[in-house]
Structure 1
Amino acid sequence: MNSTDRNIGTSELTGLEALYFALIDSKVEMVTGVAGFPVTAVMNYFEKNLGSDIPTLWMTNEKVALEAALGASISGKRALVLTKHVGMNVLSDPLVTAVTHTIGAGVVIIAGDDPGVRASQNEQDSRWYGEVAEVAVFDPSNPDAAYSSLTRAFELSESTKTPVIVRITDRLEKATGPVTRSDNFRKTEVTFDRSIWELTMRGKHQHFHINVQPLLVDEAENTSLTRSVKAGKTGIISSGYPSLLVDELLSEKQLEVSHLSLNVVSPPPIRKLRDFISDHEKVLVVEESEAFIESHISICGNVLGKMTGHLPYGRIEKEQIGFAIENFDKEKITEYTFIETIKGRGSRSLCEDCLFMPVYRMLHDLNILIAGDMGCSIRSAPAPLEAVDVGFALGAAISTAIGFDKKSVAVIGDFGLSHSGIVGLINAIENKRDVLVMVLDNRTAAMTGGQSTPDLTDAVKALCDDVTVFEFNDPEVAGSRIGELEELVRDKLSVKGVSVIYVRADCVLYR
């Protein structure tokens, strides 16, 4: 199929393809995104297949990505934002405000979660942002549910005048199944109603709770996307990709276990959950990554899940669900005590031929605190390199280093600098802090697929008086110049104020 194919029917699609056709059928007019697993694959697919018909804009920062989508919404254009779970933290500021500010045309955020932490700095569950921001969250389980969730999310966004979150995972993107497309969607004519400014900020929140929240609760309780099968005295409540695993297991084992598969998980459908729980002697909650649903119903007493030890936190596998079912009779179990180590899993270090490798070895030998950043440098923290000591968030290295008790090094990539690190640099200069910023500049977002990055060299020079550009691109020259670079670093560490050293070298993966 392609974007002009309007033969509506049922086709075997992947979850990724289902999201693409939902975007097409929903008449979305702008897509913004920030690279990161697992949404990079989604953005790449959209970019490849949409061509120039619909703008697909790679952004350096999730806050900006959502704000651009909100601007499109205000002017009557449906917009989609793609971000990985940690990006939800960055865009949460405009998200929370947008709910009571109200919007125009539909805005949907696809939040890509990473259960099992395959390619992220933490294991985080985006469903909690439904409660933080008071927005609806869809958690589809298969390609057909992904299609229906995204198309419905745009409709709900417009009827409630709020953004809506659709949570996905890598396994949902790759899952295959029949998907039924619909031709009932019309181009939206919704624009922003500025009469909301007749209300105070408190009044806007009151308006939300009186007029909007009931619509969200009704959606959660009565959505046709929820599936329920009554089959025994014990039951399973699930959401997201684990629902597919539950379906497969119950079918393979021919188990008489009821199954309530939720699609809208925020607001939690409390009435539906209570009714299901009261009909069963024991209920198991199967979900990724945190005990989100379970935490809302654990007070009922007959609920099992992560909090009782029946399932692990994070990624869920089919055999773990089977084990939990076998232990329905136990109130608590202690099965999942394994703690993963780098030694046990195997190291994921830098590329062996990375041109920055001598730089990391030099940093190790400085014997001072080194603030790292998300991206390649975070892989230099464990042995054998042990170059950087801390790494909290993308763009955080400079801000972290200005809190150290003496002048130290902040190692940041060019993407991290443009994402949010530049703000840390501004604060370091404004507050006259002592810090040496080393920008490892390969003009590439190497950890997220090789996207190009903006060149901020001139902007940095305009901000800071002490900027040195150090070319490190030739492997033969790099080895001989490392002593020169180390001398420069030690010299800059001995003077007060903010110093910046740009170390430039091509990324060996993407040059």
Structure 2
Amino acid sequence: MNPDRPGETGEACLATALRTAADRFYTVPGYPMTTLGESCGAVCTVNEKVALEYALGDAVSGRRACVILKNVGLNACMDPLMNAAVQGLSGGLVIVVGDDTEVKGSQNAQDSRCIGRVAEIPVFAPAADELATVVETAFRASEQFSRIALVRVTPAVLTAETNGHPPARNQRAGTIADASLTMRGRSEAAENRRREMVRWAQENTIPALVFPPHQGSVPSCSTVSPPAGAPETMQSRGSARTFCRGCPYIPLLEVMREKNLHPILDIGCGLLSKNPPWEIGTAGYGLGSAPAVAATSTGVALMGDYALMHSGLSALADIHEKGLPVLVVIVENGVLGMTGKQAAPDILPYISWATPVLVDAADREAIRAALVPEDRLKCIIIRGRCPEGEYHETVEC
């Protein structure tokens, strides 16, 4: 024991290491992690998915971020957690998860170490005497392999006596997927990084690392293998996918490009805005994720009406409650444009509290006047209808 700090708990040691290594903290309270979040001054959010999305926005901006939650809370994070390994990160992002091993304050028992193989992320399960150093190691792994890292702790580790000083911070830059990559190419590049991560684990002795394992085979959960050459780009394929002929939202894209707005994208047709000829989108981490990611990064989100209803509403509520300045542009076409034009619900009854600005998709001047960020949440609904019988086009690259 350190005579200058006798009887320090594992939780206190971990809190010191986290405050040394990270810039931002987010949490959803729950046993056994409530007091750790408080010790780090973590921002409480409406749910764990929103917490991770805020942290992803920080990571897009090059800041280190940490999410503190309990084991069952990790379940709510799976969509952005999985997507982040493919989309990539710039700043490091670490989730510290507390497994309620004796089910004292949880509805079920689950071992978060199992998430490593599914999400293909590095997982650390430190003993008490490894807590001082594990956080910086996890952040460096996150940045090295451009994906979230997981640190799993238990009540026994948090309450154990320990000591130690965290190492100096040594931040490096991760990589967000190159905009020129096709969807397949992004997955190929992510599989390359996964294989590098496995080699790193097997060629080095990394304290507290439990996934990837130091020995044995590590099969991929991806259906895509790395190509013999470079990952597929739109240029190597010869074409890029773009919007339908007669898409009513072309004026919106033109005004966003004119105003040099670079939105965080949601899943849906908005993803095409990162492709030629528009090339305005920044990154996307899953359905309904754009508002919260944008709130801590570019300040602009582009999403569809269905994505809002799917899982974006909780983020809007949290952003509104916190008074965060973000411009959320919602394309309302009444259908699921990428999956066969199934009907989407009317969104207005559910966000009328946000006093959204309603704009016709053909009214370029109204769009231009509306696309002005403010010092609060601002929602703009761009209303149009998809052309009948049209499908996404391709353009040569």
TM-score (norm 2): 0.52
**CA deviation map 1:370-420 (0-9, x unaligned):** xxxxxxxxxxxxxxxxxxxxxxxxxxxxxxxxxxxxxxxxxxxxxxxxxxx
**CA deviation map 1:326-368 (0-9, x unaligned):** xxxxxxxxxxxxxxxxxxxxxxxxxxxxxxxxxxxxxxxxxxx
Tell me what 1:13 maps to.
Answer: 8
- How far the C-alpha of 1:25 sits from its partner, in A, is 2.4
Tell me what 1:197 maps to.
Answer: 179
Question: Among residues 200, 221, 236, which one is paired with 1:218 in the alignment?
Answer: 200
Q: Distance in 1 between matches of 2:202 and 2:10?
A: 22
Structure 2 counterparts to residues 3-402 of structure 1, below 5 A: 13-26=8-21, 28-47=22-41, 56-142=42-128, 144-182=129-167, 184-186=168-170, 188=171, 190=173, 193=176, 196-219=178-201, 222-225=204-207, 263-271=208-216
Judge which range, 12-21 or 85-94, deviates more. 12-21
- How far the C-alpha of 1:67 sits from its partner, in A, is 0.7
SS of equivalent residue, structure 1 residue 121: coil
Paired AA for residue 146 in structure 1: L
Asked if the contact 1:100–1:204 (Cα under 8 Å) also holds between the matched residues in 2, the reply is yes
Q: Distance in 1 between matches of 2:120 and 2:9?
A: 30
Q: Distance in 2 between matches of 1:78 and 1:71?
A: 10
Asked if the contact 1:12–1:179 (Cα under 8 Å) also holds between the matched residues in 2, the reply is no
- How far the C-alpha of 1:106 sits from its partner, in A, is 0.4
Q: Distance in 1 between matches of 2:52 and 2:172?
A: 20
C-alpha change, 1:98 and 1:193, in structure 2 (3 Å) is: closer
- How far the C-alpha of 1:193 sits from its partner, in A, is 4.1
Structure 2 counterparts to residues 472-483 of structure 1, below 5 A: none
SS of equivalent residue, structure 1 residue 20: helix
Asked if the contact 2:203–2:214 (Cα under 8 Å) also holds between the matched residues in 1, the reply is yes
Q: Distance in 2 between matches of 1:93 and 1:138?
A: 21
SS of equivalent residue, structure 1 residue 111: strand
Q: Distance in 2 between matches of 1:117 and 1:137?
A: 22
Paired AA for residue 211 in structure 2: S
Asked if the contact 1:76–1:189 (Cα under 8 Å) also holds between the matched residues in 2, the reply is no
Tell me what 1:235 maps to.
Answer: none
SS of equivalent residue, structure 1 residue 13: coil
SS of equivalent residue, structure 2 residue 150: strand
- How far the C-alpha of 1:462 sits from its partner, in A, is 5.4
**CA deviation map 1:408-467 (0-9, x unaligned):** xxxxxxxxxxxxxxx9xx79xxxxxxxxxxxxxxxxxxxxxxxxxx79xxxxx9559xxx
Tell me what 1:250 maps to.
Answer: none
C-alpha change, 1:110 and 1:82, in structure 2 (3 Å) is: same
SS of equivalent residue, structure 2 residue 69: strand
Asked if the contact 1:84–1:112 (Cα under 8 Å) also holds between the matched residues in 2, the reply is yes
- How far the C-alpha of 1:170 sits from its partner, in A, is 1.5
- How far the C-alpha of 1:212 sits from its partner, in A, is 3.8
C-alpha change, 1:46 and 1:80, in structure 2 (3 Å) is: same
Q: Distance in 2 between matches of 1:63 and 1:215?
A: 25
Asked if the contact 1:135–1:266 (Cα under 8 Å) also holds between the matched residues in 2, the reply is yes
- How far the C-alpha of 1:172 sits from its partner, in A, is 1.1
Q: Distance in 2 between matches of 1:180 and 1:272?
A: 35
- How far the C-alpha of 1:76 sits from its partner, in A, is 1.1
- How far the C-alpha of 1:268 sits from its partner, in A, is 2.1
C-alpha change, 1:121 and 1:154, in structure 2 (3 Å) is: same
SS of equivalent residue, structure 1 residue 105: coil
Q: Distance in 2 between matches of 1:192 and 1:11?
A: 41
Q: Give the number of the structure with larger relative contact order, counting CA–CA contacts within 8 Å between residues 6 or more apart.
A: 2
**CA deviation map 1:11-57 (0-9, x unaligned):** 7531111111212322x11100111111112112222xxxxxxxx21
Paired AA for residue 173 in structure 2: V
- How far the C-alpha of 1:129 sits from its partner, in A, is 0.8
SS of equivalent residue, structure 2 residue 190: helix
Q: Distance in 1 between matches of 2:68 and 2:202?
A: 23
SS of equivalent residue, structure 2 residue 89: coil
Paired AA for residue 268 in structure 1: P
Paired AA for residue 163 in structure 2: P
Asked if the contact 1:13–1:179 (Cα under 8 Å) also holds between the matched residues in 2, the reply is no
Q: Distance in 1 between matches of 2:157 and 2:217?
A: 25
Q: Distance in 2 between matches of 1:152 and 1:45?
A: 21
List alignment gaps of at least 5 residues for structure 2. Answer: 219-305, 311-320, 323-347, 352-397
C-alpha change, 1:140 and 1:60, in structure 2 (3 Å) is: same
- How far the C-alpha of 1:219 sits from its partner, in A, is 2.8
Asked if the contact 1:220–1:265 (Cα under 8 Å) also holds between the matched residues in 2, the reply is no
Percent identity, aligned pairs only, is: 33
- How far the C-alpha of 1:10 sits from its partner, in A, is 8.4
Query: How much is the aligned-residue C-alpha RMSD, in angstroms?
Result: 3.3
Paired AA for residue 212 in structure 2: P
Paired AA for residue 267 in structure 1: P
C-alpha change, 1:220 and 1:173, in structure 2 (3 Å) is: farther
- How far the C-alpha of 1:134 sits from its partner, in A, is 0.3
Number of residue pairs matched?
228
- How far the C-alpha of 1:126 sits from its partner, in A, is 0.6
